[in-house]
Amino acid sequence: MIATLLFVAFLALMFLGVPIGAALGLAGAAAIALANAETQWFGLLAVPQNFYAGLGKYPLLAIPMFVLVGSIFDRSGVALRLVNFAISIVGRGPGMLPLVAICVAMFMGGISGSGPATAAAVGGVMIAAMSRAGYPAAFSASVVAGAAATDILIPPSVAFIVYSVLVPGASVPALFAAGMFPGVLAGLALIVPAVWLARRHQMGQLEAALSRPPFWRSLKDAAWGLAAPVLILGGMRMGWFTPTEAAVVAVFYGLFVGMVVHRTIRLRDLFPILREAGELSAVILVVVSLAGIFAFSLSTLGVIDPVTRAIVASGLGERGVLALIIVLLLVLGMFLDGISIMLIFVPLMAPIMAHYQWDVVWFGVVLVLTIAIGQFTPPMAVNLMVAAKIAQVRMEATTRWVIWLVLAMCVAMLAVVVWPQIALWLPQRLGY
Amino acid sequence: MPSHPPTGSPEQGPDRRAAPATDDAPRFLRLEDWLTVAAMALLALITFANVIVRYFSNSSFAWTEELSIFLMIVLALVGGASAVARDQHIRIEFFCAAGSAARRRRLAQLGALLVALLFALIAVLSVRVVWDDYRFEETSPGIGVPQWWYSVWLPILSLLIAARAVGLLVRRTRQSDARYLAADAREEGPRP
Amino acid sequence: QAPAGYKSEYRMSLVLGTAFPWGKGGEIWASKVREKTSGRINIKLYPGVSLIQGDQTREFSALRQGVIDMAIGSTINWSPQVKALNLFSLPFLFPDYAAVDAVTQGEVGKSIFQTLEKAGVVPLAWGENGYREISNSKHPIKSPADLKGLKIRVVGSPLFLDTFTALGANPTQMSWADAQPAMASGAVDGQENPVSVYTAAKLHTVAQKYVTMWGYINDPLVFVVNKEVWNSWTPADREAVRQAAIEAGKEEIAIARKGMVEPGKPLLKDLAANGVQVTELSAAERDAFAKATRPVFDKWKGQIGANLVDAAEKAIAARKQ
Ligand code: NA
Ligand code: NA
């Protein structure tokens, strides 16, 4: 009864446009008060305790730091130089710029931990360049939004950090390693429709007339950016630093590159960079902590076990349940942001994972893949929002292009579902 | 995977936050902004110093973990407060974005009211947590200082968030429907 | 049929699950309570301190405030709230299991229970997480000199940091989640935990090849109930819960010590079978560690209460071997 109220209240508040954190916190608090009417203070002391404890976890510190990395690299001038370097390799021709956009976004994914930051960094450079070459703005925005979604799969990734906090059995290094190949696979999958659409619709006709940057000079210019993922991922692999520390090392590296080498960041830019990254992180962290209140009522009301039993006994079978979960996640991803999806559904799915003995790292990768798809599936799509803003187009105008990219990434996800080794080979190889 | 687009790239056009303040824009966010920036900078510097010290002097400041967690909580709350004032918190707009301006404005008021309510509740309840920390002389697990030095900020900053939500509610109430729509359109970005 | 004022389910907080002696103790306590109260008191286990998002150090406050109804808690985790519990973390206080029993089951144990009652909970019985042993990836540790410069992941508490600093090691505080990959990559060299945790976490697979059985501290567990919950029960049910706790505590301690008290210490053979080099210390070798950490012992004796520490030392000296 109270459990029903918990869900109904949460869903109602959410659809009324109440901030998701507040919906989680209020529904959770109401359920706690009703279920503990005889305890002191209606058992509501669980609210501040869980709010505080939900936040007070050292691994979460990696979130503000990786968001800051995104903000800094967004302005460091690295994306522009990577784009020039990529063009100097693949050359000019129909469909080449979308290819470059995707590859550079994947590479930036090895530095940044969040999709929208990459969409802003790559979009800022690529959308204008693609426009000059004659690609429609809506198409460019779609490609950038999809490509930036690979960012939360390719390590480092804020999404994996949140997942590892929710699932103690999945360590951050194992998840980071497991995200690598699925992330690259997703990027490669995007290239197919992007290039095909460009050629079919004869986009970028002006591109061939544009100059091709010289290889060696582009390489020299791009060297600082090329070294960044080596430092971040290599440093973690070598045990020089923990994921949180890796983020901070990347922050100072990015500041050095932006302020000293490329001189795109001035001293007075630091305040807005820190403020913006700080507020963005706070928005995530507040949802994480308020979800702690929701999780407390969820676990104490004893709804998870019966729901799990019902699902397991539903006769769908293991594959049916998995398919159902994926479809559900994809639909949710259309409307809901990824962090909220994880905070609400991982506690519900943990017993199902345990029942079918699914590998928690593999499941984390599949989950993050669906979230990545949601980041550029309209109507609510953070990456697409950023890219459309840069391209100065309405988000609705991108739908006809973006749908192909969504399908392509769904195929990549199915591959990871069918062949878990795509995700699990690397962490096993590295001994995590 | 933050859910709000980072702003401020030169290519992104005019940033609405940089737009001249109107009477329906939040004011006096300087305190929150400075605290957010200070918390971010300190977090980065402390962690970086840890890496440096560990690799060059073979010792570590083990005590910094507790301090970093505290700074992160401060960051979440002060950044949360300015995000409330700027109406940046994650919410599903798709279903409530339809309908008349009056209806949309009323839903926005409801959202602000509920945020105020929740954080007022957290503020009141966490006073009891602080009081227990104080009267039972709890010490922090890492450094061993009185726990209430940390926990006392929870009710204070929760109250700040509640106050910012009330401010947003007041602004949404005073705004005319036309103003609300204009501000809303600005938030959704340029439309050719 | 449960009397009025009884909850349909009581929430028991634990740090470790039923794969460990700790969690088994919780399971045994819960089932004995159900049996002895004919189902009037029904307990659900929440391992991983999941009632407060895994934050072990807030468990005691949450227990006092009714967020948690009952718990089996570690003296280490509760020491921020109850300073006397630091007694058990004083380095090299307990030479053997008999010493631990002399303290917990004797007058000192009673006095600590009184302190716990003053702190707002109802303590019922003692259990045991175990002696904490040190492991590392570099070399066998036989003397304090072997610890010099080693990066050891420790529980984040001032007393632990003091102890390891006094031994010349480099104590590093990190969450358990961070610690395992840090050991695998060599970011930290070692850790200290009961052998049951070492085995369950398969630490030999993350390069922890050298284990020294130095038993520098013992971590007893305490079975407690929230005061309001306790008062809501009938006297007969309270007695039933207390008896259940005492019996479960005894059984749990036996499980925790399994493999270490039998002749030949079979647990150490199991460890060695995984390619782990186990080092046992002679009395003289152990004394060298005790001597090195004596300043820490003396410093903390004042903070814990000199009378309590003296009483504990007296009880240990008088123990039956
Ligand atoms: Na990434
Ligand atoms: Na979406």
Rg (C-alpha) for chain B, rounded Å, is 20
Nearest one of A49, A250, B141 to C173, comparing CA atoms? B141
Contacts of B116 in chain A (CB under 8 A): none
For residues A92-120, average pLDDT: 88
CB contact under 8 A, A168 and C61: no
Domain count, chain B: 1
What is the Cα gyration radius of chain A? Answer: 22
- Output the pLDDT for position A405: 96
pTM: 0.88
- Has residue B14 been placed in a domain? no
- For C70, phi then psi, to 5°, come to -150, 160
C-alpha B154 to ligand 1 mean position (Å): 32
Res B60: pLDDT? 60
Read out DSSP for C215-226? EEEEEEEEEEEE
In a domain, B10, yes or no: no
Separation between Cα atoms, residue A161 and residue A242, nearest integer Å: 12
Confidence band, pLDDT 50/70/90 cuts, at residue C60 = very high
- Subunit contact A39:C55, Cβ cutoff 8 A: no
Judging contacts by C-beta atoms under 8 Å, the chain B residues touching residue C170 are 58-60
* Cβ atoms of residues C224 and C100 within 8 Å: no
Residue C267 pLDDT greater than 50, yes or no: yes
Q: How many CB atoms lie within 10 A of CB B52?
A: 12
Q: Is residue B20 part of a domain?
A: no
* Stretch 273-332 of chain A: residues touching chain B, C-beta under 8 Å: 273-287, 289-290
Residue B127 lies inside a defined structural domain of this protein? yes
| Tokens found for residue C91 | 């380095």
Q: State the sign of the Cα–Cα–Cα–Cα dihedral A92, A97, A102, A106.
A: positive
For residue C184, give the nearest of A240, A292, A432 by CB distance.
A432
Neighbours of B149 (CB within 10 A): 15
Q: What is the DSSP letter of C3?
A: P
Question: HSE-up of B36 (CA within 13 Å, CB side)?
Answer: 29
Q: Give the tens place of pLDDT for each residue, A46-72.
A: 999 999 988 888 888 888 998 899 889
Q: Which residues of chain C have a CB within 8 Å of the CB of B54? A: 151, 172
User: What proportion of chain C, given as a percentage, has pLDDT over 90?
Assistant: 74
pLDDT at position B22 over 90:
no
Cβ pair C311, C112 in contact under 8 A = no
| C-alpha A380 to ligand 2 mean position (Å) | 4
Higher pLDDT, A165 or C193: C193
A21 and B CB contact within 8 Å:
yes
A265 alpha carbon – ligand 1 mean position (Å)? 22
CB–CB of A39 and C52 under 8 A?
Answer: no
CA distances from C305 to B44, C162, C292 (A): 40, 18, 21
Kindly state the average pLDDT of the residues A266-289. 93
**B36 lies in which domain range?**
28-188
Contact A222, A84 (CB under 8 A): yes
Q: How many CB atoms lie within 10 A of CB C1?
A: 6
Give the residue carrying structure tokens 């300043």: C295
**Residue B105 — very low, low, confident or very high, per pLDDT cuts 50/70/90?**
confident
The pLDDT assigned to A208 comes to: 75
Which among A70, A252, A274 is the nearest to B48, CB-wise?
A252
Q: Tell me what the pLDDT averaged over chain A comes to.
A: 90
Residue B160 lies in a domain: yes
**Residue carrying structure tokens 């992007």:** A194
C-alpha to C-alpha distance for B71 and C42, rounded to whole angstroms = 41
In this structure, is residue B2 part of a structural domain? no
Predicted confidence band of residue A25 (pLDDT cuts 50, 70, 90): very high
Chain C nearest C-alpha distance from A361 (Å): 14
Share of chain C above pLDDT 70, in %: 98
Is the residue at B123 inside a domain? Answer: yes
**Does residue C277 register a pLDDT over 90?**
yes
Retrieve residue C284's tokens.
């003289």
Place of tokens 């994650």: B90
B145 touches chain C (CB under 8 A): no
Inside any domain, residue B92:
yes
Average pLDDT over residues C121-145: 96
Does the model's ipTM exceed the 0.90 cut? Answer: no
